Structures are given as C-alpha cells and as structure tokens.
Amino acid sequence: MNEKKRQIIEAAIRLFAQKGYHATSIQEIADTLGIAKGSLYFYFKSKEDLFVSVFEYHIDQILQQFHLVSDDKSLSPRDKMFKLLMENFDRHRESRDFFQMLMKERFEINEEIGKLILNLRAQSLSWYQTCIIEMYGAEGQPYSLDAAMMFSAMTVEYMHHLTLDNIEYETKPIALYLLERLDDLMRGMIAKGQPPLLSPDRIHQFLPAAGFGIASEIHQIRSLLASLGLPPDRREEIESSLLVLTDELAKAEPQPVIIKGMIAYLHTLALPELNPHLDRIAALALPAQ
C-alpha cells in the first residue's frame, strides 16, 4: 500500500474511533495529517470510499494473522487455534474504540463492504474447519463445518460482549476456555454419531471468489492428508504434486494442460476423500474447459 494512503487510513481510524464515523469530516482528517483537503480526494473519492478502505485495511490485518499462523510449521493444530484466538482478542482489546464505533453506529452496507464481510466470514470458517480436521482427525471430519460455525459464533459473541460492555480481560483464559468448549462440542458430536447438519463439503458454498476458493480447496486437501494416516512416502508424493499445481496456478498465465495433468494424476491415487476438492479446483481453474 502507498505510504501516504496508509497514513490517511490510520488517521481516519483514530478519528472514527474518537468521534464516530458520522461526526468526523474529511477536513478534520486532513487537518490531523497537516495536508490540504484536496490531497485526500487524490486517494479517496469520498468519506464513504475512505471508510471502505479502513474496513478493508482491518480485514487485511485479520487475514494476515490467519495466514501467518496457518503457515507456522512449528505449531501443532491446537496451538495454531489457540494462538489465533489470543491474537484476535488482543486486536479487539487494542482497537476497542474503533470496534465499539463499528458496532454502535449505523452504516448502510454497500456492495463493497458486503463483499468484504462475506469474504472474511468465508475465510474464517474455512480456516476453522481446516484446523478442526487437523485437531480431531478422521472421526471429527464429518462434523468439521458444523463445529466451525458454532465455534465462530461463540468467538464473535464473546468479542462483541467484551467490546460493547467495555470489559477488561486477559486473552489467555478466554482462549483456553473457548478451546475447551470446542473439545466439548466435538466429543459430544463424535460420541452421539448423529448425522451432521452441514456436510463438510458445503464449505465451498461460502467461498466468494475463485482465487480464494482454489487456495481453500488445496488447504483442505492438505488437512485431509494429516487425518488419513498415509505412509510418509505417499503423503510426500501428494504434497509434491500439490506444490506443482499451486505453483502453476500462481503464474500470470497458467497452462491448462499442466493443471489438467496434475488434477488427473491426483485422481488416480484412489483417495476418494480428495476427489470433491479436486473437482472444485478444476471447475474454478478451468471454468471454460
């Protein structure tokens, strides 16, 4: 992000938090930065456009946390979930005034903000589901989406309560408490053996964009590999194939023949658990094929 644009966004965050969105003017934001009002309009068309960028900035910060924690190979699945909870609650505490403003003031949710909210929800659910599969293995996999939705709802409601009621708190006990409640949920569902309300594969219905959808499908395949108990050499073979596929998809002009070839090869491995994810990758990456 352009440095001047970042400075404007951070100044707007501070003023929106202190005075509220509706009570803050573009002139006040410019005065805070010591620049002409017209300079802001070089970067943002309006105050609403600036607010969308502020919202996007916060979501980007949250998603960066998801990816950093997810990619940390030194952490167990449970430690990843714990670390993310700690960081999320820390972020809400440190930015309490801003989040209070978001919750208390009424906003017309325009199309851009609506897409950002849906994208954050989809990525959060997908990440929680992946962690749950890694934590509880094959027996927990059928309940992974149900559990992800319930766990997400619990976490969000506690964050709202602590933020709106201005309650001081320590993050570690809350994170541990919520993880234990997730244990309770999973033990109960596994022990009763009832059919889940939501099939784990329905996560793809939440995914709003092809790029994220492909990344999520590959992430879920990797999570499934951890729960299938495959021999190390076979798992390494699949991981290598996924790496080739990921690298090709990341290119500016990916070659359809390579994508088709890797997906076809992965289909030959006789692992039916992977096939729905491979089919969705093919549909997203090769929509016209």
Average pLDDT estimate for 217-230: 73
Contact by Cβ (8 Å): 179, 81:
yes
User: In which residue ranges of the chain is CATH 1.10.357 found?
Assistant: 56-192
Mean pLDDT of 176-188: 96
Question: 282: which residues sit within 8 A by CB, 6+ positions away?
Answer: 259, 260, 263, 289
DSSP conformational letter for 75: S
CATH of 56-192, one of 1.10.10, 1.10.3470, 1.10.287, 1.10.357: 1.10.357
User: What is the share, in percent, of the chain residues with pLDDT greater than 90?
Assistant: 21
Counting every residue written for the chain, the total comes to 289
190 vs 280, residue with greater confidence: 190
Instruction: Measure the CA–CA gap between 110 and 196, rounded to whole angstroms.
Output: 34
Torsion angle of the four alpha carbons 128, 131, 136, 141, in this order, in degrees rounded to the nearest 10: 60
DSSP letters, 82-105, are HHHHHHHHHHHHHTHHHHHHHHHS
* Residue pLDDT, tens place only, 134-176: 899 889 999 999 999 999 999 989 988 887 777 888 889 999 9
Read off the tokens for 226.
């951890």
- pLDDT digits 0-9 by tens, 233-279: 888 888 888 888 877 876 767 888 888 998 999 888 878 888 888 88
d(CA 85, CA 278): 30
